[in-house]
Amino acid sequence: MTGDALNAVLLIGKKIQYGTWRARAGLICALRWLIGLAALAAVIVSWPATAATEVLVVIAQKSPAHEEVLAALRASLADVSGYEPTLRVMTAAEFSDSGPRATDQKLPGLVVTLGTDAAAMVLRQKLPAPTYCTFLPQAAYAALTNVSNERHARRSALYLDQPLIRQMQLIRLALPTRTRVGVVLGPESRKSEHNLRHAAVSAGLVLRIEQITDEKQLVGALHRIMDGADVLLAVPDPLVFNRNTAQNVLLTTYRLGKPVAGYSRAYVTAGALLSVYSTPAQIGRQIGEELLAMRDRPGSPLPAPGYPRYFSVEINERVARSLGIEPDQVEDLTRRLAEKTTGTSHE
């Protein structure tokens, strides 16, 4: 309790020292309310200040990708002398069994989640501690919070996917003569139609869109859209692009002589022409940088939800040769893309 609050209670106590029992009971209630309010304020103020030294990291499961994120996170923090945060790592299953709860008196200064399952598990507990959800798609975070554009002081996100303008600009830079972009949207990805159109216009591209509601409609939609498009942009959607459909999409577009711009390195390996993506190490590096930034600005809220700052470009040289395409070198494309899209990481 602050000094002013305590003096106010003592003053009230003196005035009703000889009052009735009801007045004294009211004093006790007021005292309890002020103590609770002061304790709550102290906790809220202390969270950002301790977030840099007490960090609980919850990972979806133990995997090479998550280990790579953690290694890069630790490396970025180790580079700063005099800064030794306590990183406690738990899987989502371990958090479910023995993780902190909202009623605990002692909570971590900051919770960082890696992966959709970890974010879902932690957000379900509604911890009052700041929560930074990372390594998950933007659509997954929006579904978990149910408010895709909310700026919440105690939770935020670092998405795994790339901003649409970065994907459009890569097509523009790598394929300057192919200005007509086709996109097939499903029930999930159709929510991004407005943003897709805006990104295409910003990059100087013409966008053609087909929507499907059933996997059986995919091949027909591809033929229709590629009649008037020079390149297919793959947008994450569980109905359109999954293990069952990926090969059909790549074979259909290849036979039509049209390249595919994918959204992951694996897609390029499978047969897409190119892709822009962020590696686990790049995500881990940015998480570390955000923790350092929070240390330097105690009392400030979490960073706004946003996309990865660091990214990589991949080109399938074999597919490029087969389609008669001669894109620039990866290093040059990456540099030019970074120059074109600087400042587009946040929503």
> pLDDT by residue (tens digit) across 242-274?
889 999 999 999 999 999 999 999 999 999 999
Give the C-alpha distances (Å, rounded to integers) separating 342 from 129, 282, 308.
31, 16, 11
Placement of tokens 């790049």 in the chain: 282
Q: Would you report the helix, strand and coil content of the chain in percent, each value rounded to 5?
A: 50, 15, 35
The values of phi and psi at residue 326, to 5°, are -125, 80
Placement of tokens 């097509």 in the chain: 171
Task: Select 51-160+283-296's CATH number: 3.20.190.10, 1.10.10.10, 3.40.50.80, 3.40.50.2300.
Answer: 3.40.50.2300
How far is 104 from 114, CA to CA, in rounded Å? 23
Domain layout of the chain by residue ranges: 3-48, 51-160+283-296, 164-277+311-341
User: What does the chain come to in residues?
Assistant: 347
> pTM of the full predicted structure?
0.81
Q: In terms of C-beta density within 10 A (0-12 exposed, 13-18 middle, 19 or more buried), how is residue 42 classed?
A: exposed
Structure tokens at 24: 């004294």
Give the C-alpha distances (Å, rounded to integers) separating 153 from 118, 216, 235.
20, 43, 30
- The per-residue pLDDT string of the chain (347 residues; one tens digit each, 9 = 90 and over) reads 444 433 433 333 333 343 443 444 443 444 344 334 433 333 333 334 444 468 999 999 999 999 999 999 999 988 776 666 789 999 999 999 999 998 888 889 899 999 999 999 999 999 988 999 999 999 999 999 875 444 556 899 999 999 999 999 999 999 999 999 999 999 999 999 999 999 999 999 999 999 999 999 999 999 999 999 999 999 999 999 988 999 999 999 999 999 999 999 999 999 999 999 999 999 999 999 999 888 877 666 789 999 999 999 999 999 999 999 999 999 999 999 999 988 666 66
Q: Do 51-160+283-296 and 164-277+311-341 have matching folds?
A: yes
Query: Can you tell me whether residue 60 is helix, strand or coil?
Result: coil
How far is 86 from 89, CA to CA, in rounded Å? 10
Q: In terms of C-beta density within 10 A (0-12 exposed, 13-18 middle, 19 or more buried), how is residue 33 classed?
A: exposed
**Apex 193 CA angle, 176 and 341, nearest 5:** 45
**Apex 235 CA angle, 220 and 305, nearest 5:** 155
How far is 43 from 40, CA to CA, in rounded Å? 5
Strands in the chain per DSSP E = 54-59, 86-91, 110-114, 131-136, 155-159, 180-185, 206-211, 231-233, 260-262, 274-277, 312-315
Placement of tokens 């909310």 in the chain: 150
Domain 164-277+311-341 CATH superfamily: Response regulator (3.40.50.2300)
